[in-house]
Amino acid sequence: MSKLDDIVSLSKRRGFIFPGSDVYGGFAGTWDFGPLGVLLKKKIMDSWWTFFVENREDMYGIDAAILMNPKTWEASGHTATFADPLVECKECKSRFRADKIADGINESVSTEEFLSLHVKCPVCGKENWGPIRKFNMMFSTHVGAVLPDDDSELMEKNVAYLRPETAQGIFVNYKNVVDTFYPSLPFGLAQQGKAFRNEISPRDFILRDRECSQMEIEYFVHPNDWEDNFEKMRALFHEFLEKEMGLKTEAIHELEVPAEDRAHYSKRTIDFMFDYPNGTEELMGLAYRTDFDLSNIARESGKSMEYRDKITGESFVPHVIEPSIGVERLFLAVLSNAYVEDEINGEKRVVLKLPENLAPYRFCVSPLLKNKPELVEKAQEVYKILRAKYGNVTWDDSGNIGKRYRKQDEIGTPKCVVIDFDTLEDGTVTVRDRDTTEQIRVKPEEL
Ligand SMILES: [Zn+2]
């Protein structure tokens, strides 16, 4: 088993992540977060929000609708260009993203170029390809009372898309915020929410799924200041990933994205790559989007997106620095960064060395024996105190103490608190450390 398989297995076994619609045999490209997954995911998202929004004066949060006026996607270029090169094997009818089954080509690969590489079908091994076709990754639906047998004009008129990125929900609210809060430049609008991409072949666990959560900031700046602000964001994200998420510095690599690989709107992009168990993959992107989006909106809506400087009186369309991070990608980075197999007293152990601020539970409280009422009663007392103080505290009185430790190690609980017979004598409890497995005795109020 690869390390990724181990993580997938642990995720399911301990209730972090289950395959989507598992009971019906799953649904490709979807995953469900279980009780512990929700706790970890929420901590990751809250930590981002605190770091980038609550602790700053220059950030405003928004939460826009997932369904947006389709003009949004015309203006942003998604209707025309948000497409992957789809190729079909004529032998077995399997469909693939051409640039994912051949080396050295990108999304704009032509049929001739692809055929010249003599790629064999990953499913049947033959080489008999149809032409490359552009496949738009937006999920479309129809809004309002539209029936399948309605004429195509009505269908067309009522088409809507599940948003393929959260960014546009921010851009369409830029003017609303400027007109109600009068922020000074530079300022940012931040949003967390779902985005949908109809990936041709979802894979690599939650790395490439069809439904994901994004955390995005559009940071509006004076056009002359973009480089300075780009550098500030770059440094801030390193700080966030390393200090708040606990990711190892050496596992994060910056990739300066060359012009031909950049999204159509970007003048400069740095991808933050992470060493995932199955290889180095994109963790997040930092893009300089210029005034591409606001200018498109101005053109498409007929409304001015100009910002008027309060001091100089200068009017201009702000430029944008966009740090964009996928929650699931970050979740998997945090999980694989924390996943360790070690040996304690000659016995193999799996442990999630999650940072304390992210661990689903901070403490696990248990009585040494569950059939001794005096121990259980005292343990309940300690449990209630810690729970009132920290919130995320769990109770475990199942199996023997060794089994409980094993379980808490696997879900990343930093400290296990055990109430034993000495507790009844001197009031101290045993506190066992997840990483070192060392045990000390302290008074519960010192925790
Ligand atoms: Zn085939």
Per residue in 387-446, pLDDT (tens digit) is 999 989 999 999 889 999 999 999 999 999 999 999 988 989 999 999 999 999 999 888
User: Given this model, what pLDDT does residue 201 score?
Assistant: 81
Instruction: Quote the ligand 1 centre to 121 CA distance (angstroms).
Output: 5
Query: By C-alpha distance, which of 135, 121, 118 is closest to 89?
Result: 121
CA dihedral sign of residues 203, 205, 209, 215: negative
Helix 3-13 to helix 327-338 angle (10° resolution) is 100
Instruction: Quote the ligand 1 centre to 202 CA distance (angstroms).
Output: 18
Instruction: Quote the ligand 1 centre to 124 CA distance (angstroms).
Output: 4
Instruction: Quote the ligand 1 centre to 8 CA distance (angstroms).
Output: 28
Instruction: Quote the ligand 1 centre to 20 CA distance (angstroms).
Output: 27
pLDDT averaged over the chain?
Answer: 93
Q: How many residues are recorded in the chain?
A: 447
Helix 35-49 to helix 327-338 angle (10° resolution) is 110
Instruction: Quote the ligand 1 centre to 277 CA distance (angstroms).
Output: 28
CA dihedral 262, 209, 108, 264 (to 10 degrees): -30
Query: Where does residue 410 rank: exposed (0-12), middle (13-18), buried (19+ CB within 10 A)?
Result: middle
Contacts of 32 (CB under 8 A, 6+ apart): 17, 18, 19, 20, 21, 22
Residues 202-228 have pLDDT tens digits of 878 888 889 999 999 999 999 999 999
Please answer whether residues 447 and 431 qualify as being in contact, where contact means their C-beta atoms are separated by less than 8 angstroms.
Answer: yes
Q: How confident is the model at residue 259 (pLDDT cuts 50, 70, 90)?
A: confident
Instruction: Quote the ligand 1 centre to 109 CA distance (angstroms).
Output: 20
Instruction: Quote the ligand 1 centre to 96 CA distance (angstroms).
Output: 10
Instruction: Quote the ligand 1 centre to 102 CA distance (angstroms).
Output: 14
- Mean local confidence (pLDDT), 22-42: 95
Give the DSSP per-residue string, 174-189.
HHHHHHHH-PPSSEEE
Residues 172-190 have pLDDT tens digits of 999 999 999 999 999 999 9
Residues 386-400 have pLDDT tens digits of 999 998 999 999 988
- Mean local confidence (pLDDT), 251-261: 90
Instruction: Quote the ligand 1 centre to 97 CA distance (angstroms).
Output: 13
Contacts of 277 (CB under 8 A, 6+ apart): 2, 3, 4, 7, 336
